Amino acid sequence: MLSADQGANWVSLWGPPTSEPSPIEALGGDSGQPSWLRAAPHLAIDIVEHGRDEDDLDRKADELQGAGTAHFWAIRLAGPQRVVVYNGSASPKTFSIDRKLGAEGLLRRRLPLAALFDDEAAVEYLLGSRSAGV
């Protein structure tokens, strides 16, 4: 869905095919084509399901940020729908789905978080991107 934000380079996965932590979607590759990303993505998104090891998520955030990732979003599916944003050494911040998030230099428009959970909201965001010529 974020790949519809034209001008953004989208890659599919972090790490080589044999990496054990679950792959994540990443924005900010140089090739402009779906590919394995071998450098830190500018924006990484992880979908966190019920029962996920929180220490594993913290390790992933630390690893990505240590490698140079500017934005790491954890989409929380268990409990209230929300997105936890990790940015640098600051404590993670939690945003409810009625908010919008941006990624400076990566997304041309702020993303309504509801679009990450709801198909209709996603379509509305995508159509807005196209009608605005973005």
pLDDT in tens, 63-120: 888 888 888 999 998 889 999 999 877 889 999 999 999 888 888 889 999 998 888 9
* Closest alpha carbon to 92 in 110, 65, 119: 65
Tokens of 38: 């071998």
Domains identified in the chain and CATH numbers: 2-131 (3.90.1570.10)
CA 117 to CA 128: how far, in whole Å?
17
Banded pLDDT at 3 (limits 50, 70, 90):
very low
pLDDT value at position 20?
Answer: 45
pLDDT, tens only, 10-65: 444 444 444 444 445 555 555 555 555 567 778 888 888 888 888 888 888 888 88
Q: List, in sequence order, every residue forming a beta bridge with 96; answer none if it has no partner.
A: 82
Dihedral (Cα; 55, 86, 39, 101), 10-degree rounding: 140
pTM, two decimals, is 0.70
